[in-house]
Amino acid sequence: MRKSLHILIILFFLAQNPAIFAIEQINTTIASPKSFKGVELVPEIPNYFFKSPVDKPLSTINFQILDSLANAYSYFSESQQPFVYVPKIRQLITIKRGYWDIDKYPEYTGDDTKNNLFIRYSTDWGKSWSNPILVYKVPSGTQYATWRARYPSVYAFDYEGDIAYVYTAPCTDGSGWVGFVNGLYYQNNFFQSFSKSFTWKDGNRYNWGGTDSRIVGGMDGSDPYAIAVGTIMIEGGLPLTHTSHLGYRRTTDFDKWNEVIPPQWEASKYKTPVSQNDSVRSSLIAGFKFADDGYIYMAAYANFANLTLNRFFFGVSKSTDLGKTWSDFEFPPENLFDSYLQEYGLNTSLITWGQPQFVPLGNDNYTFLVNINEDTTQTFRLWENALHQLVEVYKQNGVWGVRKVSDLTGYVLAYVAPTSSNQLGDEAQLVRTVDGLALVAKWTDFVDVVVNDTVYPRATNDIFVSVRRINSPGWSKVKNITESFDYDRITWLPDMVPSNLRDIPILKLASIPIEGQTAAEARLRQRMLDTVPQYLLVGFFDADDVLNVEEEIYQNPEITNLKVYPNPMSEIGSIEFVTSSPIRLTIDLYDVFGKKVMNIFDGNTFAGVQGVTFKTNNLASGVYNVVVEYNGIKKVMQINILK
């Protein structure tokens, strides 16, 4: 379910040599052949500065070389977690593949190859790092001798006074995905095992599909454990009713990883794909993380069967017993996005959105960051004039809401063949502070270059961030943290950042330059990924300076656009509303005799488009009244429950 992309190629001249400058127009739903649009010649740009929508001053990060990679595929998937901070052990950790490409350099005999995995850790937020630690070595002379690791993920925990590092990674044999390697590094030794196919209780044989490689671990009493989630495909790809399972691999001995398809995640929970392509799914994983309440949250991005929406949406499942059992998915109100988009004259059928980023905050509070783009094939507007945004979809204190993070250009960096698509898109990432009191959104976007009053549109891209306090109603000003003419690509924040929002570490990749290259050749090389080796760079930036100093004071808040749906309803109902400012609100459900049968909500809301959901499966069929109260005002809506 990767994005399909339309490519805009601009011939870009620097110095006396041509280089190719390309941007990709995001289109997340229409799988069509690549189309080329527009050609523009841009002369040499001396002494440039930027025309940017963000406030001055802008900062430039001084990136330093941390490591070298054979290519970009240690960090080139939105379905992995290669850069984490674990508060309990106070370590910042990254996992990557090696440097030497033994296909190009068969004479190399060491362990530092692109098919093996290495961990590095830091105890001072990235200022200094351990040497690379080998945690996976391709086992020569075995049936797994061709299992080459890609897109790895990592986690760590304290095990009897020593740090245990756990990891998982999809593997390829050069022609396709063959399964996953799972492993443990502990007391200077690594232990690896492999997951490919398994027979489930239904008697069918399944393979681990896709490249999802998220993992967590810890102590279950006196036993260490790890759990990795992934997508599952039935062998042969048919029937389509069995292609969309989500599941996990769990272990306590790190020799055998037991495969499980929880009933709450099985394929019947999602609509059956209509395509006969055996790689098509109707479920993906958007996140898999611990929250401060000690529970594990798994977010799915899926076409859920029990929703009327016939498109991918957001759902959250929770485990309170370290991954052994899971709750049913919880969803936002179905029409919440439609209500948000009304301001722009759009609805969900007229936009596309990318795979969301997910952060759980504990106590059933969580948030998603998602890229949305107007579908100009339907609205017939110029791409530059269409809606392109980063949007937060959140649940806090029982209320769901949608709020804008930032406007975007709608373009992402394109790469030189043979890499034909940008798997990371605009590189949107959502992370939290260690204390859980703030969120940081990071993304890349294009900016204009101005020379002598001449504007060169989208001449380069930079990294941008915005911050929101958890209890703040909106996001901060946008900050450009890499104002430079360099291409910024394959950028990663750790999943947690310092609570003071200062010296935040960030990783990015850059193609290793060749001595003697012209500026144009070097710039072209920065769009090459799998054909050239890469530097792994680390830098630091501050984000505390963009937070709002004072909260806005609101008076006389009002509620508008109050609605309840579906009506009639059978199992789940949604109540939606728009508030002009934060407000204290209670919502109760009464039967026809005036007896209160349910308190749906009692608490504070934010401003904007919001909604709550409630379950009606335990209520008898009949007529009920939903009563909404705020500021001494009472509003009543009648619903019908049918079983």
Residue 483: what pLDDT? 87
* pLDDT, tens only, 478-502: 999 998 888 999 999 999 999 999 9
Domain closes at, from 220, 238, 272: 272
Question: Of the ranges 34-38, 266-270, 375-379, 406-410, which one carries the lowest mean pLDDT score?
Answer: 34-38
Residue 186 shares a structural domain with residue 211: yes
| pLDDT on residue 402 | 96
Considering the domain boundaries, does residue 344 fall inside one?
Answer: no
Q: Residue-wise over 278-312: b if at least 16 C-beta within 10 A, else e?
A: beebbbbbbbbbbbeeebbbbbbbbbbeebebebb
pLDDT of residue 12: 31
pLDDT higher than 50, residue 149: yes
| Same domain, yes or no: 514 and 378 | yes
What's the Cα-to-Cα distance from 350 to each of 331, 332, 381, rounded to whole Å?
Answer: 21, 19, 12
Between the alpha carbon of residue 285 and those of residues 247, 546, 551, 639, the distances in Å are 10, 31, 35, 34
Residue 44 predicted with pLDDT over 90 = no
Q: What is the SS3 string spanning 203-225?
A: CCEEEEECCCCCEEEEEECCEEE
Q: Domain range holding 30?
A: 1-64+354-395+409-550
What band does 420 get if pLDDT is binned at 50, 70 and 90? low
pLDDT digit string (tens) for 259-297? 999 999 999 999 998 876 556 789 999 999 999 999 999
**pLDDT at site 26:** 43
The answer to the question of residue 139 being in a domain is yes
Peptide bond into 18 cis (omega under 30): no
> Does the residue 613 lie in any domain?
yes
- DSSP bridge partners of 537: 65, 508
The amino acid that residue 637 corresponds to is M
CB 118 within 8 A of CB 86: no
376 close to 450: Cβ distance less than 8 angstroms: no
Question: How many separate domains does the chain show?
Answer: 3
Same domain, 226 and 366: no
Q: Are residues 459 and 579 in the same domain?
A: no
Domain with residue 625: its CATH number is: 2.60.40.3080
In this structure, is residue 305 part of a structural domain?
no
Q: In whole angstroms, how far apart are CA 329 and each of 90, 300, 374, 555?
A: 32, 8, 28, 37
- Regarding predicted confidence, which is higher, 350 or 520? 350
Q: Give all strands (DSSP E) within 527-632, no chain letters.
A: 534-541, 559-565, 572-579, 583-591, 596-605, 608-615, 622-630
Q: Is residue 315 part of a domain?
A: no
Residue 554: its pLDDT value, please?
55
Task: Report the pLDDT value the prediction gives residue 346, as an integer from 0 to 100.
Answer: 95
Q: Over range 316-326, report the average pLDDT.
A: 97
Q: What is the pLDDT of residue 547?
A: 78
Q: Which of 256-265, 304-313, 534-543 has the lowest mean pLDDT?
A: 304-313
The chain-wide mean pLDDT, for the chain, equals 87
The answer to whether residue 501 is domain-embedded is: yes
Residues 115, 58 share a domain? no
Amino acid 596 reads K
Smallest Cα–Cα separation from 484: which of 465, 504, 462, 506?
Answer: 462
pLDDT band at 182 (very low <50, low <70, confident <90, very high): very high
Rounded Cα gap, residues 196 and 192, in angstroms:
14
Q: Between 287 and 309, whose confidence is greater? A: 287
139 in the same domain as 56: no
CA–CA separation, 163 and 484 (whole Å): 39
Q: Strand, coil or helix: what is 52? A: coil
pLDDT confidence of residue 136:
97
Residue 550, pLDDT above cutoff 60: no
pLDDT tens readout for residues 625-642? 999 998 888 899 999 999
Q: What is the pLDDT of residue 448?
A: 87
Identify the pLDDT of residue 486: 86
**Are 633 and 520 within one domain?**
no
Asked whether residue 291 is domain-assigned, the answer is no
Residues 6+ apart with CB under 8 A from 363: 291, 293
Domain boundary, last residue among 272, 305, 334? 272
Looking at residues 184-210, what average pLDDT do you find? 93
Does residue 145 sit within a domain? yes
pLDDT value of residue 277 = 59
pLDDT attached to residue 479: 95
Q: What confidence tens digit (pLDDT) does each residue in 78-128 have? A: 999 999 999 999 999 999 999 999 888 999 999 999 999 999 999 999 999
**58 and 104 inside one domain:** no
Residue 549 has pLDDT above 70, yes or no: no
On whether both 422 and 482 belong to a single domain, the answer is yes
Do residues 546 and 565 both lie within one domain?
no
| 58 and 95 both lie in a single domain | no
Six token digits for residue 215 = 């993992």
> Residue 555 — very low, low, confident or very high, per pLDDT cuts 50/70/90?
low
- Examine the domain organization and report whether 632 and 521 are in the same domain: no
Residue 20 has pLDDT above 60, yes or no: no
Task: Please state, in angstroms and as integers, the Cα–Cα distance from residue 469 to each residue in 336, 396, 499, 544, following that order.
Answer: 22, 12, 11, 11
Q: Give the residue from 518, 550, 582 where a domain finishes.
A: 550
Q: In DSSP terms, which residues pair with 93 in a beta bridge?
A: 84, 121
Across 407-418, b (16+ Cβ under 10 Å) vs e yields: ebbbbbbbbbee
Segment 429-456 shows an average pLDDT of 92
- For 469-501, letters b (16+ CB in 10 Å) and e give bbebbbbbebbbbbbbbbbbbbbbbbbbbbeeb
How far is residue 583 from each of residues 67, 168, 579, 637, measured CA to CA in Å? 50, 45, 7, 20
